[in-house]
Amino acid sequence: MPSDPKPLNGDQAAVQQRFLSLFLRSEREVFRYVAALVPSVADAEDIVQQTALALWEKFDAYDPAQPFTPWACRFALNKARQWIERRQRWQALLAGGLAEELARRREELRPEVERRLAHLEKCVDKLPGEQRALVEGYYYRRTGIEALARESKRTVEATYKMLQRVRHALQRCVENAAQLEEATP
């Protein structure tokens, strides 16, 4: 008697699960690593996706004794390079070894970045309603900028500008909070 098609079982499924589990835990970190080079969110996501395919393909070469994220970031750097090479505009931004320099400097700044961004959640909470709705729409719900502009009855340009201002406010907020923390014994 033929049965219904069954989802894949056995060893291969277990390997897929192990991979996905590891990858999904590293995904945000890999994304941010890529975004330091290619900050545009959709593009960075593209690169992360290509990285995932490459990682899966080479997964049998992964040594489980080593941490997964740095291994994944090496692939991400490669994929980012490939991606950038095909886009002149981005090449212009990252030419002259700037990509490597940014990746290196980012690593050096990491403790300070973490110290400041630890306050980000608090700062997001403190945003006035409309501003909060905008960052939430853009970053969390990934609503398109045209739709956000319509919702807030602004032009697309004004909406981008407003996003920029909200980020600026958040930046000041986390910097102040970090400074305050430092000043408090």
Partner 1 sequence: MNLRFPSPEFDDAVAAVCHGLASDEQMQSLNELLRTSSAAQDAYLFRVELHSRLASETDLFATTACALSVEEPRPLTPILSSGGGEGERQLPNVLSLPNRRRRMAWAVALAACFVVLAAGFALWLTRPAAKGTTSTAVAMLTRAVDARWGQNTGLVRVGSALGPGWLRLESGLAQVVFYSGARLVIEGPTELRLVSTSEAICPTGRVLAEVPQPARGFRLKTDHLNVLDLGTAFGVDATHDRTEVHVFQGKVELLSGTAAKQSLGEGQAAVSQGNAPPRLMAASAVAFTPLFDFQQRSLVSEAFRYEQWQFANAQLNQDPSLVVHWDFENLSGSDWTLRNAAEKNRSVPEATIVGCQRAEGRWREKQALEFHSVNDRVRLTVPGEFEALTLSAWVCVKGLDRQFNSLFMCDGFEPGTIHWLIRNDGVLGLTVFGPKAGNLQITATPPVLTLDKLGMWLHLAVVLDGKARQVVHYVNGAPVAREALKVAPPYRLGPTELGNWNAKSGPNLDTKLIRNLSGALDEFELFSRAFNDAEIHDLYVKGRPD
Nearest to 140 by CA among 113, 174, 171, 163: 163
Report the residue from 147, 168, 176, 180 that binds partner 1 according to the rule CB under 8 A: 168
Compute the CA torsion angle 149, 154, 160, 165 (nearest 10 deg). -130
Contact 131, 164 (CB under 8 A): no
Among 6, 111, 184, 185, binds partner 1 (CB under 8 A): 6
Q: Which is nearer to partner 1, 67 or 185 (CB)?
A: 67
Return the residues of window 68-87 that contact partner 1 according to CB under 8 A.
78, 81-82, 84-86
Positions 116 through 155 that interact with partner 1 (CB under 8 A): 116-117, 120-121, 124, 135-136, 139-142, 145
Q: Does 2 contact partner 1 by CB under 8 A? A: yes
Residue 80: name the closest of 67, 68, 93 by CA: 93
Check binding of 49 to partner 1 (CB under 8 A).
Answer: yes
Provide, rounded to whole angstroms, the least separation between the CB of residue 153 and partner 1.
20
Residue 40 contacts residue 86 (beta carbons within 8 Å): no
